[in-house]
Structure 1
């Protein structure tokens, strides 16, 4: 599915989402690998087959195989970490925070792509998944590496746009099915 077809599937009730998606796709404020890896990692995090397919096609034209793999790895490892660390953060019993996580996450130390890109992708996925502990951890690493606040904000803004696109498309499909 081409990205244009995805845009066409966003219903009129989500016109702002469609306009934001269009604006995001033409935004070149991030370098190509950072931008397209971010698009793909966020698309995977939405869990929407249509969004994943469209952004994977788009990313495949712009990214190396290692970058595609890195973006998918960021989404995958954050899916695990965001559940675990959100639980640790939200649980009233703080004993869990002192326990070893016992989760393999070697990809974070050796992602096969630029570490700053991987951190930015991980931050954006963590924003989609709603894990405050992971957001804080990744934002701290990015700030420590000198990444500008506007770059971090752009990554999270793009995550919000991609997530809202998935919601609009999936909601429209549900509306069509239930009205038939």
Structure 2
């Protein structure tokens, strides 16, 4: 199972997505762990079974068991946080900002991998779900940990292409 299987499954009209999928996985400033963790976390967030299965199957060749769990954990915690923090922001009422979340987020404090890698995965997932508050927060954290703009940029590119592949394959499945 490979990235190639995803590319092969994409229809002709998604040629740009197919080409970009090849590009983001072969020309990146990210370390191998950062890249494959980003791919896995965003595949979980994008929710397409084929994309997730193919990336998860290939990720085991590039990530430790701890990194796999951490990438999935990043997607899980951000599924919660992106809804919560985006909603508080969109309500626009300052009174909500001072209320404590009272949501468990232990994985953020002890993710099982380098904190910068985990935060980069959280940032990429937040790009898919569209939480501006989380994007700003995680970008500041990775930047303060020494990640470059190229790292953030590459993580965002991965998120956008994985999301595009998932949306396209979901559409094709619904239309068949």
- Common fold, TM-score beyond 0.5? yes
Equivalents in 2 of 1:84, 1:55: separation in Å?
Answer: 28
Compared with structure 1, are the counterparts of its residues 115 and 168 closer, same or farther at alpha carbon in structure 2 (3 Å cutoff)?
same
How far does residue 53 in structure 1 lie from its aligned partner after superposition?
A: 0.4
How far does residue 2 in structure 1 lie from its aligned partner after superposition?
A: 3.1
Residue 30 of structure 1: aligned partner: 30
1:79-137 Cα distance to aligned partner (Å, 9 max, x none): 00000000011103222111110100010010000100000000000010100000000
Residue 50 of structure 1: aligned partner: 50
Shifted more, 103-112 versus 138-147: the winner is: 138-147
1:109-124 pair list within 5 angstroms: 109-124=109-124
Residue 170 of structure 1: aligned partner: 170
How far does residue 47 in structure 1 lie from its aligned partner after superposition?
A: 0.9
Residue 98 of structure 1: aligned partner: 98
1:128-171 Cα distance to aligned partner (Å, 9 max, x none): 01000000000111121221111111100110010001011111
How many aligned positions are there? 176
Gaps of 5+ in 1: none
Equivalents in 1 of 2:69, 2:136: separation in Å?
Answer: 24
Residue 151 of structure 1 aligns to a residue whose secondary structure is helix
* Residues 17, 161 of structure 2: 8 Å contact kept: yes
TM-score normalised by length of structure 1: 0.94
* Residues 33, 67 of structure 2: 8 Å contact kept: yes
Gaps of 5+ in 2: none
How far does residue 28 in structure 1 lie from its aligned partner after superposition?
A: 4.2
Equivalents in 2 of 1:111, 1:40: separation in Å?
Answer: 15
* Residues 25, 35 of structure 2: 8 Å contact kept: no
TM-score normalised by length of structure 2: 0.96
CA RMSD of aligned residues (A): 1.0
Equivalents in 1 of 2:165, 2:104: separation in Å?
Answer: 31
Residue 131 of structure 1: aligned partner: 131
